[in-house]
Structure 1
């Protein structure tokens, strides 16, 4: 797991090395993707409706913004998928309710799952 060391003075954390270490950690995670993320694999094989309007209705249903103000080219401030916003809210509530080290330890596994999911989404294959 990549973590920034807690030190005073000049930081020893190097973002370039951290990125390299992140990518080195991905290959073993990717090999376990099918077992770890069966629903994600199913989502990637989602059929596209022959009706283009039906497809875009499915995409639109994933967002919470109202029809009165549709974001267009919002740069770095863009709406999250509804499922992402709900997950962030739930995890924030969980950590606010119990910020102990024991409760926070579970986020290490979530970090690894997230890395594996990203690897799968960008079609990262180990060599």
Structure 2
């Protein structure tokens, strides 16, 4: 870059009001190819009557394989950069959760009652 050239401007991001937010817990399948790759992302894992794991697909993501590689690199870099904060936050959350569980253990089933069929899924 010469002295006369200005540095490139960072991109501007605009989120459409129709852009969905999709919660996923993992990748069920991934097919890597050229020029695109495909991932099936799941949000819920249950077991059927025979004990077979059933994954509920939240979305199918298709993107250029080069973008998949760039995404993986950015994710790993961000996780490495934020490792200490992630460990601290996770430890704090686990501690609060364990305290809440200790409180739950002190409550007997008779005091709370039992679930009814109206809440069964």
Q: Higher helix fraction: Structure 1 or Structure 2?
A: 1
Question: What's the TM-score bracket when you normalise by the shorter of the two chains?
Answer: under 0.3
* Structure (1 or 2) with the larger CA radius of gyration: 2
Structure with greater strand percent: 2
Provide the TM-score with structure 1 as the length reference.
Answer: 0.23
Q: TM-score of the superposition, structure 2-length normalised?
A: 0.24
Question: Of the two structures, which has the highest relative contact order with CA contacts closer than 8 Å and spacing of 6 or more?
Answer: 1
